[in-house]
Structure 1
């Protein structure tokens, strides 16, 4: 499993309905993309759910690198780049993935939590903790799924979860509204640890 995210931080007075309309018009285009586990079309609005910014920040879980590369290089990624500029595209290697009890429900909210991989702790312990936390996150009431991914260039660990309702109480991280969920290969994402 591979994860990918890019973000467009928009002006404070940007009409976020423009993004909603865009996703309503084009979100279905990835509903059958080969190699894609899922794409969550995510937005945050300034002043809501603690967000300091307006942001469009799609998050992807890929079950093949070929699918990800095809998206980036064969034209699909050109559309948002033409409209908003070329963003940095973050990529992470998968550590764990679990489906939640609400897996068949529509996704309303996503939570993305980033933290550094701590120095002085064996990497095997960090990875095992990430796997356990992913399992716990998937059992939270209303959870559709949970994943843990890592960027070894900057040693950043990211926990990603989708929820059918509001963000769970006490959860840490950035809270996003899910505008659409394309999930052509969600059933092909390997559950459990990724090694």
Structure 2
């Protein structure tokens, strides 16, 4: 499994209804995309306390072929044509869990990025992170949660979908406009190695 996200920063006075309409009319196009575990169509808005207006979709790919088909196909070209070519961040998945609210429609998402501790053995630091992730994914209101790592920058990424529109404080927060999850059942559970 691979995690992927790109962020499109929008002007402070940008009408975010444009993004909402875009997702409402196009979001369903990935509802049956081969290889896609899930795509959360995410936004952040300054009027809700975010430092930026932003469109920042997050993907969990069940198969790398799906990610490649998307990036080199017409789906991503639509983003490039409308907004320019964004930097696409990607991480290798370490763990995935369904939460207690797994059947709920996610309304919010949180993202936490943190460096692996300097001097720590990578295997030990990752094992600790996977154990912490399993505990956090069992919290009330969690729909699903993924833990991933970027070994180039030694950065951990925790991404969680929440049933409530107001997730706990402490992490970067997003609104979920739509969830495409054609192969969510193929994402596996627990530690992914």
**Fold agreement, TM-score > 0.5:** yes
Offset from partner CA, 1:54-110 (integer Å, 9 cap, x none): 000000000100000000012210001100000000010001100001111000000
Q: Is the 8 A contact 1:96 1:130 kept in 2?
A: no
CA–CA separation in structure 2 for the residues paired with 1:17 and 1:136: 36
- Mapped to 1, the partners of 2:135 and 2:111 lie a distance apart of 15
Kindly indicate whether residue 9 of structure 2 is the aligned counterpart of residue 12 of structure 1: no
| Aligned counterparts of 2:135 and 2:165: Cα–Cα separation in 1 | 17
Q: Which runs of 5+ in 2 are unaligned?
A: none
Q: CA deviation at 1:47?
A: 3.6
Report the count of equivalent residues.
Answer: 193
The CA RMSD measured in Å over matched residues stands at: 1.0
Q: Tell me what 1:31 maps to.
A: 31
CA contact (8 A) 1:47 1:53 kept: no
Distance (whole Å) between structure 2 residues aligned to residue 95 and residue 38 of structure 1: 16
- 1:59 paired with 2:58, answer yes
1:21 aligns with 2:40: no
Shift of 1:128: 1.0
Mapped partners of 2:74, 2:155: distance in 1: 29
| Structure 1 counterpart of 2:176, from 153, 178, 194 | 178
Q: Which runs of 4+ in 1 moved over 4 A?
A: none
- Check conservation: 2:110, 2:167, Cα contact below 8 A: no
Query: What secondary structure, in the 3-state scheme, does the structure 2 residue paired with 1:69 have?
Result: helix
The residue matched to 2:74 in structure 1 has which SS?
A: coil
The normalised TM-score by structure 2 is 0.97
Q: Secondary structure at the match of 1:77?
A: helix
Q: CA deviation at 1:125?
A: 1.6
Unaligned runs of 5+ in 1: none
Contact 2:108–2:176 (Cα < 8 Å) also in 1: yes
Taking structure 1 as reference, are residues 193 and 167 closer, same or farther at Cα in structure 2, changes over 3 Å only?
farther
Q: Distance in 1 between matches of 2:92 and 2:142?
A: 22
For the residue of structure 1 that corresponds to 2:46, the secondary structure is coil
Retained in 2: the 8 A contact 1:109–1:178? yes
8 Å contact from structure 2 (residues 3, 90) kept in 1:
yes
Does 18-27 or 114-123 show the bigger shift? 114-123
Q: Distance in 1 between matches of 2:45 and 2:167?
A: 18
